[in-house]
Amino acid sequence: MKTIFIKCLVLLPMLLLAQHKGNYNQQETISRQNIASGKYLGNAGVYHPNNRLGFKNLSPNAAITIDLKAICNVKASSYTAVFNISQIGATAEETHQLMKNRIDHVKQMLLQNGILTTDIIIDVISFVPVYEIEVVKKLFSKKYNEIPKGFQLQQNLHIQFTKTNQFEKILAACAKNEIYNLVKVDYFVKDIHLVYKKLQDALLKQVAEKKAYYKVLGFDLSTYNVIMADDKYCYFPKNFYKNYQAFNSVSFDAIKKKKGITTVKKLTSYYYQPLTYENYDVVINPSILEPVVQVGMDLKLLYNLKPKKQKEPVKTEIKTIHKYYVVSPDGSIDIKELNTNK
């Protein structure tokens, strides 16, 4: 009995540590049915990982490449939630008034939570009559006529807020007034150029450190020709939500009662999966608690050794001296030199 108790104490920390992985990552306890088919692969990446951890085979090259990546997690300065509202009524006036009452109630509730009416904008999408088919029966025929039955008004409600905890109040106010269709939530970053400037400074610092490192190895990059390429990007949370299904089809009630299993619809879970940092050299604000805007910048420098200057050949000047003879009338001969190099 004592031996069993000790074994349980040893296994307990292992189970507690494993639980930190969450339902998404538990390969042994999650049913294999979690692997969804079609567009979303669910947990398929967990059971059949494509990436293999290991060392890369390095291939020395005469050219030197400095390839740097930097990323910054930026908390949004403001958010805009967009809700779609549809309202029908017997007349145009009634439809408009019903819609106005719902939106006014939302504004009143949000005003108590610090969201001003100026932060709420209405975008009218459509306002059209609704028709129904009326069957007109005669003695020898039957006709189908379209008759106006009412009106349908569709609007988008844009609500701007600055704190994430205000979003819960917005959802509650909209739900109380039968507004359930949340279209999207947009994130906005103020002065994003300052974020790019911070990334540029970080990359320049990394380049200087790389140059010093190569110089210690015996490579002076000032003797190289360089070409470069850079890029910047900005990713928003709405593009980084993934899904999976965590469930188990074993029914203990079916075993006890000896009855068949009733299949139910399995819930699809969604989670926020931002860009990971294993491929980045610089990460600013790495620890995040809420979905953030991820701003990145890449820089690639390619150094090729400058060709050595060839020495100019020494020119050898060859002087050619021509002589001519002058014979005087008395028979004497005078020898003269003619310089033709001028």
The domains of the chain are located at 60-77+190-311, 79-188
Indicate the range of 163-167, 172-176, 321-325 predicted with least confidence. Answer: 321-325
pLDDT higher than 50, residue 311: yes
Contact by Cβ (8 Å): 184, 80:
no
Q: What tokens appear for 35 in the block?
A: 């692997």
Q: Return the SS3 of 339.
A: strand
Classify each residue of 244-261 as buried b or exposed e, where b means 16 or more C-beta atoms within 10 Å of its C-beta.
bbbeeeeeeeeeeeeeee
Spatial neighbors of 267 by CB under 8 A, at least 6 apart, are: 245, 247
pLDDT given at position 142: 72
DSSP 87-152: EEESSHHHHHHHHHHHHHHHHHHHHTTT--GGGEEEEEEEEEEEEEEEEEE-SS-EEEEEEEEEEE
pLDDT of residue 309: 77
Tokens 């039968």, located at residue: 178
Sequence letter at residue 43: N
Domain over 79-188 is classified CATH 3.40.50.1370: no
Phi, psi angles (nearest 5°) of residue 212? -65, -35
The pLDDT-based confidence of 171 (bands split at 50, 70, 90) is very high
- Measure the CA–CA gap between 75 and 72, rounded to whole angstroms: 10
CA separation for the pair 236, 268 (Å, rounded): 22
pLDDT beyond 90 at 160? yes
**Contact of 301 with 66, CB cutoff 8 Å:** yes
| Residue 281: strand, helix, or coil | coil
- pLDDT-derived band of residue 106, with 50, 70 and 90 as boundaries? very high
* Averaged pLDDT for residues 7-22: 47
Quick: pLDDT tens for 199-216: 999 999 999 999 999 999
State the alpha helices, DSSP H only, in 217-295. Answer: 252-257
Average confidence (pLDDT) over 157-170: 93
Of 191 and 145, the one with more pLDDT:
191
- Note the pLDDT tens digit of each residue in 41-77: 444 444 444 555 567 788 888 899 999 999 999 999 9
Give 42: exposed, middle or buried? Use CB within 10 Å, 0-12, 13-18, 19+.
buried
pLDDT in the model for residue 202: 96
Tens of pLDDT, residue by residue over 115-131, are: 999 999 999 999 888 87
Q: Which of 210-214, 222-226, 307-311 has the lowest mean pLDDT?
A: 307-311
The reported pTM is 0.67
Cα dist. 225→198, 213, 222, 307 in Å?
27, 18, 8, 9
Q: What proportion of the chain, given as a percentage, has pLDDT over 90?
A: 49
Mean pLDDT for the stretch of residues 32-42: 39
* pLDDT of 338 strictly over 90: no
Q: Are 282 and 200 in contact (CB under 8 A)?
A: no
Band the pLDDT of 257: cuts 50, 70, 90: low
3-state helix, strand, coil in the chain (%, to 5): 30, 35, 35
Q: Are 80 and 121 in contact (CB under 8 A)?
A: no
Q: Give the span between the Cα atoms of 213 and 228, in whole angstroms.
A: 19
Are 35 and 41 spatial neighbours (Cβ–Cβ below 8 Å)?
yes
How does strand 64-74 pair with strand 282-284? parallel
Arithmetic mean of pLDDT over the chain: 79
Amino acid 74: pLDDT:
95
Calculate the dihedral angle through the C-alpha atoms of 60, 58, 286, 209, rounding to the nearest 10 degrees: -20
pLDDT, position 37:
38
pLDDT digits (tens, 9 = 90+) for 282-295: 999 999 889 999 99
